[in-house]
Structure 1
Amino acid sequence: MTPQPTLLLILLIGAGLALFGLDLLLPLGIANAVLYAGVVFLAALSPSLRVPLFTAAGCSILTIVGAWFGPSIPGVPLWVALSNRTLSLMTIWAPILFLLQRRQTEVLLRRLNESLETRVQARTAEIAAKELALRQTQEELRALTSRLLTVQDEERRRIAHDLHDDINQRLAMLALGLRALEQPELAQPESARATLAQSQEDILLLSEEVRRMAYRFHPSILDDLGLGAALKRLLDDFTHRTRTKTLLVNPPSDTVPPKAIATTIYRIVQECLSNITRHAKATRVEVELFISERELDLTVRDNGVGFEVDAAQHERQGLGLFNLRERALALCGTSRVQSQPGHGTEIHVHLPLSEPPPA
């Protein structure tokens, strides 16, 4: 418990004057300095360092004055008296050194505590930010999962519809046409030839339709002719369906990307073209593909209406962007979307093809 400043000041002055009077009456030598050191320790109860400093200075002055006016001991050499007073001054100032060391330690501890508190706050904020990012990612994953399930169901219904209402009906009509050849009136050579020619044409069309359905699941041209040819075919089909001009920039390269990377790039371009069809209203699409020994860079650019990237992350369109990002991340790659309303869209994807050599 720290005494009141006024009471402490009265105690210090009273104790100092009492010891000074005792020093003037009795030749105590260094013993009186020990008592002065007690006064300095008493001053250390003040929260301010100035109080013990001024107290030590005052006690030093009283010690010197006491040595000058106080009684001397007969037979004691002068150097002994001076040594006693010097030791007295050292004894008075010894508590000050202790106090200074303690105050420095307190300041250091306070700074360490403040630094620790700052680091704890920073770490807490970092953890909170990571938790928020994790929650956002979980929400995106839930939305993506829901969207994927919906798309999967839609794709199954579409395939079932194509098989039942298109291919199945055409097979049935083909069977009826061939069965008609069994009828005598249609078994004439010319009628049979016409029926067979029509059936042959229907079979070819049916084969082409089945090939297109299989191509949507996995383009065999990727395995047969490579990524560049598959992208060229994809853009040609896109131009044929949408009347949108397309350009493929694909400089020759001796590096053949792995199948997983080639398939991912193909699906990313496919997703981009799908987004362009639904949202961009573009009249021109450019696809740039650069492949080196260690990396692959893809850019898909359109001159469409553009959009606000941050806003799109929270809308349905953001699922397509999330798809692109996750496809790139799955192969340790990165993706970047640049777009502004009225200025088109650019999507950049970078994928590593091999690990860098050790340094």
Structure 2
Amino acid sequence: DGLGLLFALGLASNLLLYVYLLPYAVPTYPSLMSSAFTTLLIAGVVLFSWSARRTTLVGVLICAGFALVGAKLGQQGLPMAPFVSTLCWVAIGAALAVACARVLGRFRTGLIQRQDELAALSTRLISVQEEQLRRLSRELHDELGQSLTAVSSYLWLLERKLPPDLGELRTRAGEARHLVAKTLGEMRELSQLLRPPGLDLYGLAGSLEAHLEAFRGRHQIATKYTAEGLPERLPEEIETAVYRIIQEALTNVARHAHAKRVWVGLTARGDELRLEVRDDGVGLPADNGASRPSGIGLIGIRERVRALGGTVSLSSGPGGGACLRASVPMPREGGGAPTASGANS
């Protein structure tokens, strides 16, 4: 901002110097200067987002400088009428630039306000979503899980008490019990995906290790996890956001990357937490090289990072593979002593 102001003032001074040294290089030279000064002021408003106050200050300085140059040239015997008329046009141009600054300032203020409202709404929706997932996970585990366990027990008792001459019915009861057990296992896995209880009980590091172990067994993709300087516990919103970001990134790896190995890293340095998810898969599509990679999962990742005031980037190397990097601010009083850990498989 300061550099833009210096550039504009320097250019205006340069133009005034040309007017002083070559007042009539062409017959309409002073009038051409009024257009140049007006363009300079409007460019400052549009390109550098000058406020009306700053535009007024620069406009007053330009008018004062032009009047001073005209007075000096008048003392040298040059006619003053062209400079007076040009000064009037410069003043009109400055007033027009100030009006533009006020209009654009209102537009920018409204846009920033709406962006803040959208960010607050996004944060609220994420919070509500996490609460709903937590409630659904708890209901699946506690209520539906207990019901399925009871059904499995009843089927086991039925299987045990059936007489030997009803062997086919006993076989059917055993198959039903195995089906209930399979459903119970899948339901518990779904409950873990919705909201892992270890995230609330043991923190981010333990939950990620368990998730990576399950990911490795489910998709047959080797994983490596490292954590450097990570506190024992972080604020709940940071733990939840980082877990969800890595969870979504691993889901994308399993769906699209065709990778054989994935690396997950967390690094806490000072008041910043950095995460990286990298794979050795096919990388990003070629058409994403010039455009911003998009998708529901990536949009969710960006919204979670933005809600924490962080930054996120997705890149692909020339040799293949994709790398997701994110950085979020971390309070210094995060609690617990820093730890360093690593897991390979």
TM-score w.r.t. the length of structure 1 is 0.50
Whether 2:157 is the aligned partner of 1:178: answer: yes
Q: What whole-Å deviation, never above 9, does each CA across 1:73-97 have from its counterpart, x for those lacking one?
A: xxxxxxxxxxxxxxxxxxxxxxx66
- In the alignment, is the contact (CA less than 8 A) between 1:328 and 1:351 conserved in 2? yes
Q: Which of 267, 279, 288 is residue 309 of structure 1 equivalent to?
A: 288
Match of 1:106 in 2: 85
- Secondary structure of the residue aligned to 2:264 is strand
Match of 2:260 in 1: 283
Match of 1:263 in 2: 240
Match of 1:328 in 2: 305
- Secondary structure of the residue aligned to 2:193 is helix
- In the alignment, is the contact (CA less than 8 A) between 2:276 and 2:324 conserved in 1? yes
- In the alignment, is the contact (CA less than 8 A) between 2:152 and 2:180 conserved in 1? no
Q: For residues 283 and 123 of structure 1, what CA distance do their matches in structure 2 show?
A: 57
The higher-RCO structure (CA 8 Å, 6+ apart) is 2
- In the alignment, is the contact (CA less than 8 A) between 2:270 and 2:332 conserved in 1? no
Q: For residues 152 and 236 of structure 2, what CA distance do their matches in structure 1 show?
A: 40
| Alpha-carbon distance, 1:280 to partner | 1.1
Q: Which of 184, 194, 200 is residue 223 of structure 1 equivalent to?
A: 200
Whether 2:266 is the aligned partner of 1:296: answer: no
Identity within the alignment, %: 28
Match of 2:191 in 1: 214
| Alpha-carbon distance, 1:266 to partner | 0.4
Q: For residues 261 and 328 of structure 1, what CA distance do their matches in structure 2 show?
A: 9
Q: For residues 326 and 320 of structure 2, what CA distance do their matches in structure 1 show?
A: 20
Match of 1:10 in 2: none
Q: For residues 163 and 260 of structure 2, what CA distance do their matches in structure 1 show?
A: 57
| Shift in CA distance, 121/289, structure 1 to aligned 2, threshold 3 Å | same
Matches within 5 A, 1:129-148: none
| Alpha-carbon distance, 1:180 to partner | 4.3
Q: How many corresponding residue pairs?
A: 236
- In the alignment, is the contact (CA less than 8 A) between 2:156 and 2:177 conserved in 1? no
- Secondary structure of the residue aligned to 1:251 is strand
Matching residue's letter, 1:218: R
| Alpha-carbon distance, 1:109 to partner | 4.0
| Shift in CA distance, 118/281, structure 1 to aligned 2, threshold 3 Å | farther
- In the alignment, is the contact (CA less than 8 A) between 1:247 and 1:286 conserved in 2? yes
Match of 1:249 in 2: 226
Match of 1:347 in 2: 324
Match of 1:238 in 2: 215
| Alpha-carbon distance, 1:295 to partner | 1.5
- Any gaps of 5 or more consecutive residues in structure 2? 1-26, 30-73, 166-173, 334-345
- In the alignment, is the contact (CA less than 8 A) between 1:167 and 1:206 conserved in 2? no
Matches within 5 A, 1:2-81: none
Q: For residues 114 and 122 of structure 1, what CA distance do their matches in structure 2 show?
A: 12
- In the alignment, is the contact (CA less than 8 A) between 1:249 and 1:289 conserved in 2? yes
Q: What whole-Å deviation, never above 9, does each CA across 1:49-76 have from its counterpart, x for those lacking one?
A: 9xxxxxxxxxxxxxxxxxxxxxxxxxxx
Q: For residues 186 and 28 of structure 2, what CA distance do their matches in structure 1 show?
A: 93
From the CA coordinates, give the structure whose radius of gyration is larger: 1
TM-score w.r.t. the length of structure 2 is 0.52
Q: For residues 274 and 299 of structure 2, what CA distance do their matches in structure 1 show?
A: 19
- Any gaps of 5 or more consecutive residues in structure 1? 1-46, 50-95, 187-196
| Shift in CA distance, 304/206, structure 1 to aligned 2, threshold 3 Å | closer
| Alpha-carbon distance, 1:256 to partner | 2.8
Q: For residues 102 and 313 of structure 2, what CA distance do their matches in structure 1 show?
A: 28
| Alpha-carbon distance, 1:277 to partner | 1.1
| Shift in CA distance, 218/182, structure 1 to aligned 2, threshold 3 Å | same
